[in-house]
Amino acid sequence: MALFDLKDKSRYATFSRRAFLLTGGMTGVFAALAARLYQLQIVDGRDFLTAADANRVNQRLVAPARGRILDRFGIELANDRRNYRVLIIPEQVSSVRQSIDALARVVSVAPQQREKALRLVAQNKPFIPVAVLENLSWEDFARINVNLPYLPGVQPDVGETRDYPFADELSHVLGYVAVVGPDDKRDDGDMLLNLPGFRIGKRGIEKKFDRDIRGQAGIAREDAYGRVIRELNRQPGVPGKDVYLTIDRQLQKFVSDRLGTESTACAVMDVENGDVLALASTPSFDPNLFNIGITSAQWRALTSDDHTPLMNKVLSGVYPPGSTFKPAVALAGVEAGIAVPGYSVFCSGGLTLGNHEFHCWKRGGHGQVDLHKAIQQSCDVFFYETARRIGIDAIAAAARKLGLGAPTGIEIPGERAGTIPDAEWKEATYGVPWQQGETLVAGIGQGYVLVTPIQLCTQAARIASGKNVSPRMVYAVGEERQPRGDFEPLGFSDDALAAVRSGMSAVANEAGGTAYAWRIPDAGFEMAGKTGTAQVRVITKEERLHGVQKNENLPWNLRDHALFIAFAPIDKPRYACAIVMEHGAVADHPHVQMVRDILLFTQKRDPRKLPAAYPVTSA
C-alpha cells in the first residue's frame, strides 16, 4: 500500500501550471490553423476556385465520326462499323497476364494478340487503356459482357473502325484509310492528326475528299493526367460528310467479277453526263487490310505481284492505244477534207516510206480500203497513208479534242496524263525535229502515243455523244451538289462523227469486222467499238521474215496489250466502255467478250433510269 506522497503536491502544482501553459499554446496553434483556413478559404477562396476550375480542365480531342461513301443508289461502300473490343487499363488490375488468362477462358485469345497487348502495356503509362481484342463478333462480345463479374479489370468497349463491306471490289475507287504518317502532317495542320491511332484517307476518294469526310474534332474535358475518370463535358465535333458517288455498285460488282484475275483496267461511263458507273482495276486488294494493319507478308505479296494489284491501272496505267487511236485519226482525216466520201487507199500489206517498210497487221493486205472498211477491219496502211497526208499536228489536235493525252479531271488522285505527241512536243522533249515516219506510227496509235484507260473511255463517250463529256465520280459531298459543267459540242462536223460511228458499228456488227465474232446480238442493244493491240516488244526484220510469233506462244509479259473501246446502243448511244487487258492479246479476244457482256448488262440494267439517291438529271 502506497504512502501518501507529500512531494507529489508540488509536482502536481507545477504540472497544472505548465499544462495550463501548454493548453494555451495548443489553443494558439489551433487559432493559427483557423486563421490560415480563413485566409485560404474566405479571403483568397475565389482565386483558388478559379485555379481549381482551370486545373481540372484538360482538353482532349475527340475524333469525329468519319463520313460514309455511298453509291448512286445510297448503298454504303465505306462506313464506320462498330468495333467491339475489350480494353484493359493496366493500373486497375493486379496482373494484366491474369486478366488476359481470365479473358481467354471466355473467348479465344490468339498468342500474338496476347503478345501485342503485353507489349503495349509495357510501352505505355499504366492508365492508358490497351485494346486486347478488337473487331469481336457480337456473340463473343455478348459472352464477355455476361461473364464480366469474373473478368477483373476487363472493360468491354465499342469503338468505331472504317469498314469497306465490298472489300476488294471498289478498292481503287475508294482507296483506304491508314494511320497518319510523318509526311501527312507537313501540309495539314489539323490537330486531329496528332490523335493516337487516328486514320486518314490515303488513296482514292478517301484521300481526295479526306477533309470533307474527316469532319471536325470534338473536345472532351478531363483531368490533367489524361485519365478518363469522368468526362466533364463534351463537344461532339462535326461528323464528316457523306460522299455520294456516281458508281453503280451492282454494275461495279458485275464488272469486277467479269474481269476476274487478269491484269485489266475497265471503266464504264454515261456518254451524256460523264457519270462513271463502274471503274475497276484487277487484280485488286482488300482496303480493310490497311485499316486493321497489313502484315509484312501481305504487303510483300501485293508489291511483288507482276499484275500490280495496288496500282489503279484505269488512271495510272499508260498504254499505247494501238488501233483504238484510229477513230481519232479518222476524225482528223474527215475534218481535214481528206477522208471524204470516195477517198480510198490501196492496201497491199505494207507501205514504204523512204527506205523503211511499214507493215499492215494483215500480211496479204486489205485491197482497196475506204474509211468505213478501214475502221471496220482496222487497216494499218489506210491510216499510215491518211496520217501522212494530214500531218501529226492535225491528228494531235483531234486526239486532244477527244480527251486523250491530258488528265480527265476525275476525282481520284494519281491520274496520269499520257502523251499525244506533235512536232512542238518532240522538239521540246527531245530537241530534234519530228520525222514523217513517226506520223505514220502515231497514225496507228503506237510510238510516242500513250493514253490511260479512262481517257480511252472518255474518247468513246465523246465520239458517241459528240460533246466534250468528262468523267466524274462524285455527285454530292454532304448536302452540297458537286458542280457539273454543261458539255459543249466537240466541234467535229456531224458527217465526220457519223462516218466514224458507222465504221465503229461495222467493227462489231458487219461481217469481217474485227469484233464481229463478239457482237451483242440482242436487237436494240448492239454496240459499236474499236479493237486495239499495243505492241510491247520490238519485232525484228528476221522474225517478220519467218513469221511473227503468236502471242499465245510468248511469255505473259511479252504479249501485246489488248484494248477495246465501245459504246452502246448504236442508234442512240448512252453508255461507253473502255478496257485494257495487259498482255491480253490472244486470238479469242477475252477483253472484247468482257466489254460485250458489260455493255449488255449495263443497258439492260440502265442505271441512268433508276431512281438515284441524288437526282441525276437536273442542274
Partner 1 sequence: MNAPYIGARRALTIREKLLAIDWRVVILITIIACIGFTMLYSIAGGRLSPWASAQITRFGVGLVLMAGAACVDIRWWLRLAYPAYAISFLLLIAVEVAGHVGLGAQRWIELGPLQIQPSEFMKLSLVLALARYLHSQNVEDISNPRTLAVPLAMIFVPAALVLVQPNLGTATILVADGCGLLFLAGLSWWWIAPAIAGVAAAVPIAWQFLHDYQKRRVMTFLNPSSDALGAGWNITQAKIAIGSGGLTGKGFLQGTQSRLDFLPEKETDFIFTTLGEEFGFIGSMMLLALFMAVIFFGIRIAMASRSQFGRLLAMGVTLNFFFYIMINGAMVMGLIPVVGIPMPLLSYGGTAMLSVMFGFGLLMSVHVHRRVEIPRRAGGLL
Among 256, 281, 323, 465, the one annotated catalytic: 323
Question: 251-273 burial by CB neighbour count: b if 16+ within 10 A, else e?
Answer: bbebbbebbeebbbbbbbbbbbb
Residues 6+ apart with CB under 8 A from 5: none
**Cβ atoms 236, 64 nearer than 8 A:** yes
| From 24, 51, 95, 367, residue interacting with partner 1 (rule: CB under 8 A) | 51
DSSP assignment string, 554-574: S-GGGSPEEEEEEEE-SSS--
| Smallest gap from residue 24 Cβ to partner 1 (A) | 11
Question: 67-89 burial by CB neighbour count: b if 16+ within 10 A, else e?
Answer: bbbbbbbebbbbbbbebbbbbbb
C-alpha to C-alpha distance for 589 and 598, rounded to whole angstroms: 14
Beta pairing partners, 268: 278, 577
| Smallest gap from residue 128 Cβ to partner 1 (A) | 14
| Smallest gap from residue 85 Cβ to partner 1 (A) | 24
| Smallest gap from residue 9 Cβ to partner 1 (A) | 10
**Cβ atoms 352, 339 nearer than 8 A:** no
E strands, 134-254, in order: 154-163, 177-179, 199-201, 218-222, 233-235, 243-245
Distance of CA 418 to the CA centre of its chain: 20
Size of the site for partner 1 (CB under 8 A): 46
Instruction: Read off the DSSP letter of residue 412.
Output: S
- Closer residue to partner 1 in complex, CB, 224/619: 224
Cell of 238: 462535326
**Contacts with partner 1, 189-228, as mask; x by CB under 8 A:** ----------------------------------xxx-x-
Q: Which of 565, 71, 567 is nearest to 270 (CA)?
A: 567
**Which of positions 339-398 make contact with partner 1 (CB under 8 A)?**
none
SS (H, E, C) 346-377: EECCEEEECCEEEECCCCCCCEEEEHHHHHHH
DSSP assignment string, 258-313: HHTTSSEEEEEEETTT-BEEEEEEES---THHHHH---HHHHHHHHH-TT-TTS-H
| Smallest gap from residue 129 Cβ to partner 1 (A) | 16
C-alpha to C-alpha distance for 131 and 87, rounded to whole angstroms: 4
- Closer residue to partner 1 in complex, CB, 219/406: 219
**Which of positions 286-325 make contact with partner 1 (CB under 8 A)?**
none
323 is catalytic: yes
The 10 Å Cβ neighbour count of residue 565 is 31
- Closer residue to partner 1 in complex, CB, 16/261: 16
| From 8, 91, 357, 552, residue interacting with partner 1 (rule: CB under 8 A) | 8
Binding span for partner 1 by CB under 8 A among 2-10, 268-276, 285-293, 582-590: 2-10
Binding span for partner 1 by CB under 8 A among 5-13, 67-75, 104-112, 517-525: 5-13
94 binds partner 1 (CB under 8 A): no
- 171: part of which helix (H) or strand (E)? helix 171-174
**Which of positions 227-266 make contact with partner 1 (CB under 8 A)?**
227, 229-230
| From 2, 428, 432, 545, residue interacting with partner 1 (rule: CB under 8 A) | 2
Beta pairing partners, 62: 218
Task: Tell me whether residue 417 is exposed, middle or buried, using C-beta atoms within 10 angstroms of its C-beta: 0 to 12, 13 to 18, 19 or more.
Answer: middle
- Closer residue to partner 1 in complex, CB, 226/293: 226
55 binds partner 1 (CB under 8 A): yes
**Which of positions 27-46 make contact with partner 1 (CB under 8 A)?**
27, 29-30, 32-34, 36-38, 40-42, 44-46
C-alpha to C-alpha distance for 220 and 236, rounded to whole angstroms: 8
Task: Tell me whether residue 65 is exposed, middle or buried, using C-beta atoms within 10 angstroms of its C-beta: 0 to 12, 13 to 18, 19 or more.
Answer: middle
- Closer residue to partner 1 in complex, CB, 225/299: 225
- Closer residue to partner 1 in complex, CB, 129/418: 129
Binding span for partner 1 by CB under 8 A among 7-15, 99-107, 235-243, 497-505: 7-15
10 binds partner 1 (CB under 8 A): yes
The DSSP bridge pattern shows strands 356-359 and 367-370 to be unpaired
| From 23, 124, 137, 429, residue interacting with partner 1 (rule: CB under 8 A) | 23
| Smallest gap from residue 245 Cβ to partner 1 (A) | 46
- Closer residue to partner 1 in complex, CB, 42/511: 42
- Closer residue to partner 1 in complex, CB, 229/619: 229
**Cβ atoms 80, 66 nearer than 8 A:** yes
- Closer residue to partner 1 in complex, CB, 231/257: 231
| Smallest gap from residue 31 Cβ to partner 1 (A) | 9
| Smallest gap from residue 107 Cβ to partner 1 (A) | 28
| From 24, 53, 108, 552, residue interacting with partner 1 (rule: CB under 8 A) | 53
- Closer residue to partner 1 in complex, CB, 30/346: 30
**Which of positions 502-541 make contact with partner 1 (CB under 8 A)?**
none
Binding span for partner 1 by CB under 8 A among 19-27, 396-404, 453-461, 610-618: 19-27
- Closer residue to partner 1 in complex, CB, 60/481: 60
| From 26, 191, 340, 498, residue interacting with partner 1 (rule: CB under 8 A) | 26
**Cβ atoms 460, 565 nearer than 8 A:** yes
Backbone angles phi, psi at 85, to 5 degrees: -140, 170
E strands, 456-609, in order: 474-477, 480-481, 528-534, 561-568, 575-581
**Cβ atoms 243, 70 nearer than 8 A:** yes
| Smallest gap from residue 47 Cβ to partner 1 (A) | 7
486 binds partner 1 (CB under 8 A): no
| Smallest gap from residue 216 Cβ to partner 1 (A) | 27
148 binds partner 1 (CB under 8 A): no
Cell of 601: 448488262
C-alpha to C-alpha distance for 65 and 68, rounded to whole angstroms: 9
| Smallest gap from residue 191 Cβ to partner 1 (A) | 23
Contact positions toward partner 1, by CB under 8 A? 2-5, 7-8, 10-12, 14-16, 18-19, 22-23, 26-27, 29-30, 32-34, 36-38, 40-42, 44-49, 51-53, 55-56, 223-225, 227, 229-230
Active site residues: 323
